[in-house]
C-alpha cells in the first residue's frame, strides 16, 4: 500500500498547510489543519503597477477588480514621493478612529495577517475596518499576503505567534517596496509600517523597512495638532505607579471557576443613585449580587460582561442608602479606605458560600445582601462617550491631561490628553476609553471630536443621539434610490390590471377613518366598522402597506433593519424610513387612495370574534381625526352620518374588549409621561413651561388601542401557525415575585396595602386597591413603581422559547406581536411580510418571499437589534423631554426672574442623605440632597440667588434615617428640636423646581434641574 503522505513533488510546491491549535469553550483542544494554496496572481492593487493589473484574475462574471491604491498617494515631509501605509494589529485595535478620520490615512494596505488577528481580538473593530475597506473614498486595500507565494511566512521553530505575524507584516512591506520599485522602474511610493511595538521597529530598521509608531507618524502629518489628541493612550507609558486595583484572574482560572459554580458571569450595572454601587445579575441567583466600592468593581464600566466572586459573609452589606454622585464628590474623599484584607478562603468554604447566598436571597430584604467582587472582565462594552471636559484652566497649546465627565453618571471620568483644552471647555465632547490600567484610578481614553457648545440645540441633540446610539445621519443615496421613481406623485394605479392591484381587495367603498395624536404625519392605521344584516359587526383595522414599498434585502430594508425604529425627540423625529414613504406614500392620509394591509373581523355585539380575515387592500380614508376631534364627533348628538355611527360602534366594542382584557388580568400600567406641545404661537410673553403637558387620556385613545391590540393578537396567532419556528413575536416575561419584594414591603409599612403578585390578575386587582383619597396621584405613583419592578417586553423568534413563554404578562395575552405600526417599527414590517406569506399573497413580479423569514439565526439577530434599538429610542425620547423641561425652566426663569416653579412632588425613594422626588407635572424625577431642604419659610424671602443665600447661612444640615420606616428627618445641626422636617416615602411635598447653572470654572456652562423641598 502506498503512503498516504502527500508527495512533495514540484506540482504541490504551491500548497502549504496552516496548522493551528484552538481550545473550545468546552475546554477541549482541537488541532486544525488547513490547506493554503499559494499563488502569484494576487495583485498589489496600486494604480502605478501595470503587471499586476495584467494578470489579475476575474470573478465569475468576468469582472477584474480595479486597482485601489492611488497613483499619487499623499506625501508628507518625510515621504515627499507619497506613501502607502501598512498598520499592524495593535494600531488598528487602538487607533481605528484615526484611520476613519477624513483628514488622513488614505491608501492603506490591510494585510490578511492583521485582519485575522483583529477579528480574533475584537469583532466590532473588525466590522468597522471592513466597512472602511468597502468604502471607496478611503482607498483601503485588503491584501491577502498569506496566499501570495512571495509574502507567505512560515512560523519558525521557537517563534511566538506574535513574532511570526510581525515578521509577516515586515515581509509584505518589503515585497511591496521592491515590487513597486521594480514595476514603476523608479523610486515608488514609500511603504510605511505603523507599529507601536518598539522591538518590531528595531527589526524593521535592520531590514531597511520604514516603520514608525502611531504617535511619530501622526506628528509628521500636516494637521498633527488635531490628530495627535486622537492617538490612543497607554502604549508608550512604561513607568508604573502604585497599583490600585487587584489583578484580573487568568482566563482559564475564570473558566474553571465558572464551571465549578464558584464564580459567576453577568453584566455589570451601576446604580443610578450611587456610582460606587453596582449590581451583577447572574443566572444562578434570583437577585442581583451587589458590588460595592471601586476596588470590588475593579475597573469594570457599566455594561461590561464581568466575572464575579462572592465575598465572605462578614463583608455582606445592605445596599447603600446614600446618594453618591461622582461629580459632587471630591477626589480626596473617594479614596477607598476600607482595607479589603483578603482572608484565604478554601474551595469548600466558597461552595458553602453559594448556598448561603441562596438562603439570604430567600430571606427577604431585611438582612445584609450578598456582595461580590469583580475578578475579571469577559467582554468590554466600551463605546464613545459624550461628556464635558473638566479642567481647571486652559493651557495654551501645551499638551495636558484633563478629565472628561461623561453625561451618563454611571460612567467614570475618563482621563485624556489634549492640546486644545481652551477650545474644549464648555463644549460637548466625544471621547472613548482605551485602557484601564491597574495603577490608574480612572480609565484612560482619547478625544474623538467636539459636538459644539453646551446647551446649543444642535450639540445637545447630537449628544443625545450619540449617547443612545441612534443612527441619525441622512439616508444615503443607495437607500433613496429604492424609493418609487414617481416620488410624491405616486398614486394607486387606476387600472386594476396593474401588478400593484394583484391579490388586493378593493375596499375603497368602506367608510374608513384614522384617529391619531394631533399633528401626526405618519398615519399607520385606520379603522372602520359597520353592522352586518345578521346583527354582528364587521370591524376592519387597516395598516399602511409598507412592505409593498420596502422590498426585502435591498439597501432601504438594510437601513431600516439597522435603525429598527423611528426615534421621537421633542423637536425632532429620526425616521426609520425616508420621509417620502413615512409621511406620504405609506401614510393613510384622508382623501387619498392608499395601499393597506387589512385585518377584518366579524364580531358579535358582545365583542366575541366570529371570524378573522387578512387581506392586502386599497382603502380610501374619509377623515383623519385627532383623538379630541374624534371624541367630539362621537359625543355630538347631531352627527348621524354613517361614519360617525361606525365610530360609535367601534367605541362600544372597544369598551367591551377592554373589559374582557381587564377581566383576564391585563395590567393598567403607568409610566411618567408628559408631552411637549411646541406651540407655534409661542411668543415672548408666554410661559415656556406651558408647552409641557401631561398626556390626557380620552376614550378614543383606548378605542384605537383596543383594536390595535386585537389586530396584533390575531396576527400573532396566524403567523405562529404558519411559521412555528420563526414567527416574530413579542413577549413580556412574568417577573419573579422577588422583584416586587421591596415595593410590597414599602406599601405594607407605609400604607398597609397588600401587594399580591401571584399573577397579573392578582397584581392588577391589588394595584386597584392602592388608593389614597387625599392624593389621587398616589395610585399612579404606585403603578409607576410597579412597572419599574417588571422586566421589559421583548421581541423574539418563536423557536427560541417554549410556547408557554410566549405570554405577554402586561397585556395578559397568550401570544402577541407588533403589526400595526410598520412605518415606525421594523418588527411590524417583518410581521407584515410573514403575514403576507401566510395568506399566500404573491408580491409583484412573482418574487419569492425573502428566505430570511425562515432563517432563525438571522431573525434572532434582528430581534436582538430591535430590542436594543427600541430601548434606546425610549430612553432617548425621555432624555429629550428632560432636557426640554430644563431649558423651558431656564427660559422661564430668565423671563420671570424668579427662583423657579413651585410644584407638587412625591417621594419615590428615601436615602440616608436625601430623597428621590417625582414631579408629575413635568414627568421628571430628581434627587434632593440635604442642603436642598428648606426648613423655615423665612429663607425663601431672602436673596434671589439661592446659592448666595446658602453661602450666607452656611447652615450644616444633618439627618436621621429610619430605614425600616422609610423616613428621613432633616434638621439643622444642633437644632433638631426646633428646626426639623420629617419626610416619608410616598409623601406629597411642595418642591421648587428650577434650572441652575453650576458654578466654578471646572464645569462652566453645565446645567442641572434643581429641586428644593419647601417647608
Q: Does 363 bind another protein (CB under 8 A)?
A: no
Helix, strand, coil % over all residues of the chain, rounded to 5: 35, 25, 40
Q: Kindly indicate which of the ranges 85-93, 112-120, 771-779, 938-946 contains the residues binding another protein, using the contact rule CB under 8 A.
A: 112-120
Q: Which of 8, 10, 25, 28 touches another protein (CB under 8 A)? A: 28
CA distances from 457 to 569, 693, 883 (A): 12, 21, 10
**Burial code of 456-479, b = ≥16 C-beta within 10 A, e = fewer?**
eeebbbbbbbbbbebebeebeeeb
Query: Could you tell me the three cell numbers for 309?
Result: 466572586
Rank residues 61 and 160 by Cβ distance to another protein and give the closer one. Answer: 61
Q: Does 147 bind another protein (CB under 8 A)?
A: yes
Query: Could you tell me the three cell numbers for 704?
Result: 384605537
Q: Does 161 bind another protein (CB under 8 A)?
A: no
Q: Strands 901-911 and 794-797: what pairing?
A: unpaired
Q: Which of 22, 72, 975, 982 touches another protein (CB under 8 A)? A: 22
Q: Kindly indicate which of the ranges 9-17, 445-453, 509-517, 791-799 contains the residues binding another protein, using the contact rule CB under 8 A.
A: 9-17
Q: Which SS3 state, helix, strand or coil, does residue 409 take?
A: coil
Query: Could you tell me the three cell numbers for 956?
Result: 450644616
Q: Does 554 bind another protein (CB under 8 A)?
A: yes
Rank residues 558 and 949 by Cβ distance to another protein and give the closer one. Answer: 558
What distance in Å separates the CA atoms of residue 657 and residue 707, rounded to the nearest whole number? 8
Rank residues 9 and 533 by Cβ distance to another protein and give the closer one. Answer: 9
The residue behind cell 421648587 is 992
Q: Kindly indicate which of the ranges 130-138, 276-284, 639-647, 999-1007 contains the residues binding another protein, using the contact rule CB under 8 A.
A: 130-138
Q: Which SS3 state, helix, strand or coil, does residue 771 take?
A: coil
Q: Rounded to 5 degrees, what are φ and ψ at 240?
A: -115, 130
Q: Which of 47, 100, 144, 632 touches another protein (CB under 8 A)? A: 144
CB-CB contact of 168 with 160 (8 Å): no
Rank residues 547 and 700 by Cβ distance to another protein and give the closer one. Answer: 547
Burial of 904 (0-12, 13-18, 19+ CB in 10 A): middle
Query: Could you tell me the three cell numbers for 981?
Result: 422636617
**Which DSSP symbol is given to 208?**
T
Q: Strands 692-694 and 674-676: what pairing?
A: antiparallel
Q: Does 2 bind another protein (CB under 8 A)?
A: yes
> Closest approach of Cβ 63 to another protein, in Å?
9
Q: Kindly indicate which of the ranges 24-32, 207-215, 898-906, 939-947 contains the residues binding another protein, using the contact rule CB under 8 A.
A: 24-32
Q: Does 33 bind another protein (CB under 8 A)?
A: yes
Q: Which of 34, 185, 186, 208 touches another protein (CB under 8 A)? A: 34
Q: Which of 36, 392, 679, 759 touches another protein (CB under 8 A)? A: 36
* Run of H or E residues at 124: helix 123-134
Q: Rounded to 5 degrees, what are φ and ψ at 565?
A: -160, 160
Length of the chain: 1015
Rank residues 196 and 547 by Cβ distance to another protein and give the closer one. Answer: 547
What distance in Å separates the CA atoms of residue 704 and residue 654, rounded to the nearest whole number? 8
> Closest approach of Cβ 68 to another protein, in Å?
9
CB-CB contact of 419 with 397 (8 Å): yes
* CA dihedral sign, ordered 920, 922, 925, 931: negative
Rank residues 115 and 607 by Cβ distance to another protein and give the closer one. Answer: 115
> Closest approach of Cβ 581 to another protein, in Å?
18
Q: Does 553 bind another protein (CB under 8 A)?
A: yes
Q: Does 321 bind another protein (CB under 8 A)?
A: no
Interacting positions 794-853 with another protein (CB under 8 A): 846-848, 851
Q: Does 30 bind another protein (CB under 8 A)?
A: yes
Site string for another protein, 43-82 (x = CB under 8 A): --------------x-xxx---x-----------------
Q: Does 38 bind another protein (CB under 8 A)?
A: yes
Q: Does 123 bind another protein (CB under 8 A)?
A: no
Q: Does 25 bind another protein (CB under 8 A)?
A: no
> Closest approach of Cβ 43 to another protein, in Å?
10
Query: Could you tell me the three cell numbers for 708?
Result: 390595535
Q: Which of 11, 160, 489, 685 touches another protein (CB under 8 A)? A: 11
What distance in Å separates the CA atoms of residue 107 and residue 46, rounded to the nearest whole number? 9
What distance in Å separates the CA atoms of residue 450 and residue 524, rounded to the nearest whole number? 38
Q: How far is CA 895 from the centre of its chain?
A: 37
Q: Does 725 bind another protein (CB under 8 A)?
A: no
Q: Kindly indicate which of the ranges 141-149, 711-719, 743-751, 815-823 contains the residues binding another protein, using the contact rule CB under 8 A.
A: 141-149
> Closest approach of Cβ 333 to another protein, in Å?
47
Rank residues 32 and 335 by Cβ distance to another protein and give the closer one. Answer: 32
Q: Which of 70, 76, 82, 119 touches another protein (CB under 8 A)? A: 119
What distance in Å separates the CA atoms of residue 389 and residue 593, rounded to the nearest whole number? 54
The residues of the shown chain that bind another protein, judged by CB under 8 A, are 1-2, 4, 6, 11-12, 15, 18, 22, 28, 30-39, 42, 57, 59-61, 65, 112, 115-116, 119-120, 130, 133-134, 142, 144, 146-147, 552-555, 557-558, 846-848, 851, 854
Amino acid at each position: 500500500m502506498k503512503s498516504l503522505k502527500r508527495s512533495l513533488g514540484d506540482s504541490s510546491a504551491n500548497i502549504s498547510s496552516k496548522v493551528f491549535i484552538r481550545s473550545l469553550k468546552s475546554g477541549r483542544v482541537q488541532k486544525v489543519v488547513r490547506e493554503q494554496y499559494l499563488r502569484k496572481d494576487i495583485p498589489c492593487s496600486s494604480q502605478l503597477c501595470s503587471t499586476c493589473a495584467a494578470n489579475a484574475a476575474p470573478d465569475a462574471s468576468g469582472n477584474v477588480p480595479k486597482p485601489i491604491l492611488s497613483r499619487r498617494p499623499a506625501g508628507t515631509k518625510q515621504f515627499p514621493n507619497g506613501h502607502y501605509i501598512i498598520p499592524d494589529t495593535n494600531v488598528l485595535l487602538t487607533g481605528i478612529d484615526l484611520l476613519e478620520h477624513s483628514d488622513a490615512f488614505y491608501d492603506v494596505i490591510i494585510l490578511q495577517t492583521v485582519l485575522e488577528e483583529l477579528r480574533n481580538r475584537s469583532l466590532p473593530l473588525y466590522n468597522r475596518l471592513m466597512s472602511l475597506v468597502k468604502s471607496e473614498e478611503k482607498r483601503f486595500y485588503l491584501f491577502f499576503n498569506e496566499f501570495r507565494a512571495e509574502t507567505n511566512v512560515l512560523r519558525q521553530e521557537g517563534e511566538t505567534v506574535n513574532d511570526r505575524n510581525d515578521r509577516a507584516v515586515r515581509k509584505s512591506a518589503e515585497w511591496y517596496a521592491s515590487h513597486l520599485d521594480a514595476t514603476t522602474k523608479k523610486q515608488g511610493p514609500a511603504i510605511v509600517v505603523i507599529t507601536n511595538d518598539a522591538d518590531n521597529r528595531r527589526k524593521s530598521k535592520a531590514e531597511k523597512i520604514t516603520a514608525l509608531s502611531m504617535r511619530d507618524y501622526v506628528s509628521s502629518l500636516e494637521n498633527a495638532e488635531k490628530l495627535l489628541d486622537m492617538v490612543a493612550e497607554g502604549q508608550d507609558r512604561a513607568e508604573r505607579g502604585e497599583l490600585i486595583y487587584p489583578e484580573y484572574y487568568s482566563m482559564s482560572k475564570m473558566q474553571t471557576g465558572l464551571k465549578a459554580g464558584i464564580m459567576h458571569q453577568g453584566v455589570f450595572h451601576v446604580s443610578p443613585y450611587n456610582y460606587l454601587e453596582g449590581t451583577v445579575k447572574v443566572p444562578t441567583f434570583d437577585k442581583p449580587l451587589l458590588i460595592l466600592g471601586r476596588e470590588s468593581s475593579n475597573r469594570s464600566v457599566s455594561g461590561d460582561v464581568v466575572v464575579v466572586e462572592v465575598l465572605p459573609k462578614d463583608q455582606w452589606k445592605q445596599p447603600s442608602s446614600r446618594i453618591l454622585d461622582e461629580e459632587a464628590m471630591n477626589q480626596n474623599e473617594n479614596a477607598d479606605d476600607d482595607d479589603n484584607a483578603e482572608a484565604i478562603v478554601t474551595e469548600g468554604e466558597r461552595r458553602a458560600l453559594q448556598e448561603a447566598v441562596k438562603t439570604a436571597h430567600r430571606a427577604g430584604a431585611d438582612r445584609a445582601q450578598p456582595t461580590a467582587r469583580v475578578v475579571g472582565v469577559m467582554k468590554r462594552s466600551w463605546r464613545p462617550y459624550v461628556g464635558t471636559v473638566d479642567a481647571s484652566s486652559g493651557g495654551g497649546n501645551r499638551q495636558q491631561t484633563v478629565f472628561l465627565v461623561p453625561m451618563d453618571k454611571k460612567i467614570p471620568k475618563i482621563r485624556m490628553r489634549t492640546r486644545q483644552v481652551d477650545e474644549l471647555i464648555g463644549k460637548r465632547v466625544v471621547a472613548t476609553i482605551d485602557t484601564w490600567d491597574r495603577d490608574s484610578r480612572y480609565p484612560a481614553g482619547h478625544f474623538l471630536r467636539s459636538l459644539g457648545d453646551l446647551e446649543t440645540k444642535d450639540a445637545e441633540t447630537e449628544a443625545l443621539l450619540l449617547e443612545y446610539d441612534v443612527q441619525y445621519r441622512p439616508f444615503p443615496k443607495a437607500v433613496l434610490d429604492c424609493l418609487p421613481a414617481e416620488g410624491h406623485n405616486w398614486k394607486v394605479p387606476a387600472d386594476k390590471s396593474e401588478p400593484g392591484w394583484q391579490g388586493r381587495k378593493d375596499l375603497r367603498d368602506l367608510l374608513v377613518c384614522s384617529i391619531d395624536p394631533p399633528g401626526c404625519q405618519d398615519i399607520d392605521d385606520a379603522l372602520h366598522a359597520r353592522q352586518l344584516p345578521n346583527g354582528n359587526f364587521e370591524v376592519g383595522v387597516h395598516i399602511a402597506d409598507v412592505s409593498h414599498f420596502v422590498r426585502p434585502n435591498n439597501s432601504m430594508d438594510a437601513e431600516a433593519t439597522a435603525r429598527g425604529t423611528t426615534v421621537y425627540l421633542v423637536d425632532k423625529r429620526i425616521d426609520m424610513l425616508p420621509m417620502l414613504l413615512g409621511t406620504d406614500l405609506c401614510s393613510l392620509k384622508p382623501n387619498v387612495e392608499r395601499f393597506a394591509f387589512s385585518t377584518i373581523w366579524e364580531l358579535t355585539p358582545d365583542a366575541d370574534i366570529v371570524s378573522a380575515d387578512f387581506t392586502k387592500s386599497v382603502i380610501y380614508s374619509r377623515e383623519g381625526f385627532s383623538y379630541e376631534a374624534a371624541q367630539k364627533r362621537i359625543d355630538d348628538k347631531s352627527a348621524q352620518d354613517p361614519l360617525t355611527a361606525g365610530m360609535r360602534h367601534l367605541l362600544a366594542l372597544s369598551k367591551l374588549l377592554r373589559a374582557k382584557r381587564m377581566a383576564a388580568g391585563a395590567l393598567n400600567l403607568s409610566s411618567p409621561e408628559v408631552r411637549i406641545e411646541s406651540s407655534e404661537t409661542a411668543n415672548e410673553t408666554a410661559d415656556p413651561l406651558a408647552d409641557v403637558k401631561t398626556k390626557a387620556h380620552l376614550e378614543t385613545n383606548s378605542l384605537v388601542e383596543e383594536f390595535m391590540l386585537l389586530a396584533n393578537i390575531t396576527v400573532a396567532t396566524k403567523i405562529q401557525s404558519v411559521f412555528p419556528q420563526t414567527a416574530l413575536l413579542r413577549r413580556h416575561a412574568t417577573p419573579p415575585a422577588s422583584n416586587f419584594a421591596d415595593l410590597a414591603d414599602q406599601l405594607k409599612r407605609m400604607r398597609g396595602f397588600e401587594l399580591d403578585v401571584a399573577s397579573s390578575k392578582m397584581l392588577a386587582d391589588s394595584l386597584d386597591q392602592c388608593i389614597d383619597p387625599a392624593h389621587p396621584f398616589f395610585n399612579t405613583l404606585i403603578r409607576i413603581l410597579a412597572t419599574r419592578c417588571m422586566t421589559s417586553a421583548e421581541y423574539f423568534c418563536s423557536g427560541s422559547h417554549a410556547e408557554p413563554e410566549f405570554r405577554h404578562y402586561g397585556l395578559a395575552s397568550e401570544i402577541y406581536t407588533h403589526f400595526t405600526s410598520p412605518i415606525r417599527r421594523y418588527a411590524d414590517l417583518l410581521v407584515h411580510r410573514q403575514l403576507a406569506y401566510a395568506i399566500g399573497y404573491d408580491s409583484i413580479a412573482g418574487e419569492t418571499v425573502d428566505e430570511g423569514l425562515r432563517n432563525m439565526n438571522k431573525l434572532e439577530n434582528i430581534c436582538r437589534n430591535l430590542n436594543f434599538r427600541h430601548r434606546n429610542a425610549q430612553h432617548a425620547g425621555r432624555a429629550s423631554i428632560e432636557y426640554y423641561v430644563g431649558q423651558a425652566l431656564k427660559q422661564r426663569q430668565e423671563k420671570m426672574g424668579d427662583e423657579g416653579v413651585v410644584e407638587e412632588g412625591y417621594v419615590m425613594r428615601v436615602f440616608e442623605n436625601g430623597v428621590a422626588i417625582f414631579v408629575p407635572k413635568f414627568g421628571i424625577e430628581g434627587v434632593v440632597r440635604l442642603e436642598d431642604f428648606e426648613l423655615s419659610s423665612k429663607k425663601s424671602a431672602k436673596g434671589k440667588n439661592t446659592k448666595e443665600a446658602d453661602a450666607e447661612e452656611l447652615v450644616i444640615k444633618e439627618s436621621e434615617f429610619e430605614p425600616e420606616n422609610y423616613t428621613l428627618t432633616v434638621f439643622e445641626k444642633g437644632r433638631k428640636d426646633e428646626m426639623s422636617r420629617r419626610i416619608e416615602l410616598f409623601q406629597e411635598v411642595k418642591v421648587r423646581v428650577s434650572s441652575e447653572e453650576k458654578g466654578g470654572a471646572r464645569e462652566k456652562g453645565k446645567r442641572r434641574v434643581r429641586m428644593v423641598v419647601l417647608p
